[in-house]
Amino acid sequence: MKAAAILWLRQLKRYSRSRARMVGALGQPILFLISLGFGLGPTFARAGAGDYLQFLAPGVIVMGILFTAVFSGIEVIWDRQFGFLKETLVAPVSRLEIVLGRTLGAATVALIQGVVVFFICLLAGFRVTAAPLLPLALIFMFLIALVFTAIGTAIGSVLQDMQGFPLIMNFIVLPLFFFSNALYPLRGLPGPLAAAVRFNPLTYGLDGVRSAFGRASQFGVTTDLAVLGGLAAVVLALGSYLFSRIEL
Amino acid sequence: MSAVIEVRDLVRTFDGFIAVDHISFAVEAGRIFAFLGPNGAGKTTTIKMLTTVLAPNSGTIRIAGHDPVREPRLVRRAFGIVFQDPSLDDELTAYENMELHGVLYGVPRAERKARIAALLNFVELWERRDDYVKRFSGGMKRRLEIARALLHQPQILFLDEPTSGLDPQTRNHIWSFVRSLSREENVTVLFTTHYMDEAERVADEIAIVDHGRIVAEGTIPALKRRTGAHSLEEAFIALTGRDIREDEAAPQDRLRVMRQVWRGRR
């Protein structure tokens, strides 16, 4: 597993060296946190639903993870033509080891990004009420990162060029985010939307993260872990399979 | 002497288009073999099949005695490659790129250090070893890619248009290096190029490829004799005609254009 380890390390080195990318990826979650958190906060409070910022913060943290993760997976398209990926594809190492090192590395980067957003949320007024459960929050955040890196890798392995990228963003990534419980609570949603949100695996990830931060869980932590863990195993297998079939 | 690269009746089609059409050739150990041909002739597709990253439809390949389809790992150990498009990690230093290659190829640590130092010195990049590759010029990147391809001491070196876009000094440097590899280390070299003068100067043997077929093969004097031409370029035109090829842009060509727009030439 030496090859997987050095490919994992490579991702971390790249992340720590490109400040612009790091800061750039923070822009979107911060924008959501400030505009929605403070903008909708009063309305949310008047409706008797409590402090919106406390509800929204985990959603914004997951957003940071989601976009970093999907994007690094999709980078496969670019990387196999002009980048270092080609070098790994002709190396005497199994494709499985390459895709594992790459995926774990990208997921770790996405997790770090999520932790950075977490600290920004704390600055904005987010409060954690169950500090001992923080490791559990990290586990959920990592599983979410893993799931979406693997989905990105699967997509990146199949697409031939970047033209399909907006399609992926608008019809897969954004719907997953907007039709989850990231921005609004599940309670009282109209039927079809409620069904979509309940069907969305990200909802269970968010439920897990929220309960680890000290809010009441809707489905129970065990269910959340089972759904997310099961999904991670499936998409990881799928991503690895599609990656191993890449031809140049 | 025995053949290190042996190809028989190789065929590869893409959606009905025959990119490689029953190509056969052999290269003996330590020889320098050039693949010449117009754009879209099937040179790169052939190299992809020889280097395990594309499966043939039919035909047999032996690289250092192994089959790329059934024994990809043994084949991958036997060759080093410089691709047509860059394949370095720009955000790592020159040394880190070499080190990564060494680990991927399982070169033991002590040997790795010594070989990296020797190769970086040889391509005159030792002083720049701790600089990020993104600060390197096109020629420096190419030299680094060649050094990297040799780190695991391959028997065969594949070079796909290694000198395109480089200045004459760098081209000379690269070719004298390649020649010394073949003479002194008995490395077998297979390269493609658009520059006839380079092929004429460097190659022991040449195959001219057109429309997926080898239309002529042999030493340069033999090719000239056959076509009654004075230079390789004349022989090339005599064999492949004067038509300018307009092959359709594949997805990777579109990507290549995007890349040039965003980052400038390599």
Site from A10, A75, A81, A247 to mutate, B interface, most B CB atoms within 10 angstroms: A81
On the question of pLDDT at A72 being above 90, the answer is no
Alpha carbon distance A199, A219 (integer Å): 12
Contact B36, B196 (CB under 8 A): yes
Neighbours of B84 (CB within 10 A): 17
CA nearest B193: which of B212, B165, B169, B213?
B165
Q: Which two tokens stand for residue A210?
A: 């929220």
Indicate the residue of A85, A160, A247 with minimum beta-carbon distance to B251: A160
What residues does each domain of chain A span? Answer: 2-244
Domain that holds residue B136: 3-263
List the beta strands (DSSP E) in B75-141: 79-82
Closest residue in chain A to residue B132, using alpha carbons only: A17
Specify the DSSP element, H or E, that contains B195. Answer: none
Residues of B in contact with A85 (CB under 8 A): 87
Residues in chain A: 248
Residue A247 has what pLDDT? Answer: 84
DSSP label at residue B88: S
What ipTM, to 2 d.p.? 0.86
For residue B29 the two structure tokens come to 């150990």
CATH number at residue B245: 3.40.50.300
Residue A35 sits at the chain B interface (C-beta within 8 Å) = no
Give the residue on A whose Cα is nearest the Cα of B82: A87
Q: How far apart are CA A241 and CA B38, in angstroms?
A: 36
Strands B32-36 and B188-193 come out as parallel
d(CA A57, CA A120): 9
Rg (alpha carbons) of chain A, rounded to whole number = 18
User: Rounded to 5 degrees, what are φ and ψ at A112?
Assistant: -60, -45
Asked if the model's pLDDT at residue A101 lies above 90, the reply is: yes
What pLDDT shows up at residue B260? Answer: 65
pLDDT score for A168:
84
Phi, psi for residue B40 in degrees, rounded to 5:
75, 15
- What's the total number of domains in chain B? 1
In whole angstroms, give the CA distance from residue A115 to residue A126: 13
Cβ-based neighbours of B217, under 8 Å, separated by 6 or more: B25, B205, B206, B207, B208
pLDDT tens-digit profile, chain B (266 residues): 578 999 999 999 998 889 999 999 999 999 999 999 887 888 999 999 999 999 999 999 999 999 999 999 999 999 999 998 889 998 999 999 999 999 999 999 999 999 999 999 988 999 999 999 999 998 899 999 999 999 999 999 999 998 887 888 888 888 998 998 899 889 999 999 888 888 889 999 999 998 899 998 999 888 888 888 888 888 888 888 777 776 666 666 767 777 766 655 44
Q: Which residues of B touch A6 (CB under 8 A)?
A: 100, 103-104
Residue A203's pLDDT is what?
A: 95
Taking only the tens place, the pLDDT of each residue in A5-53 is: 999 999 999 888 888 878 888 888 999 999 999 999 999 988 888 899 9
Evaluate whether B131 touches B93 at the Cβ level (below 8 Å): yes
Q: Can you give the pTM of this predicted structure?
A: 0.87
Does the pLDDT value for residue A183 go beyond 50? yes
Enter the DSSP assignment of A222: H
Cβ-contact A222, A207 below 8 angstroms: no
Query: Between A187 and B28, where is the model more confident?
Result: B28
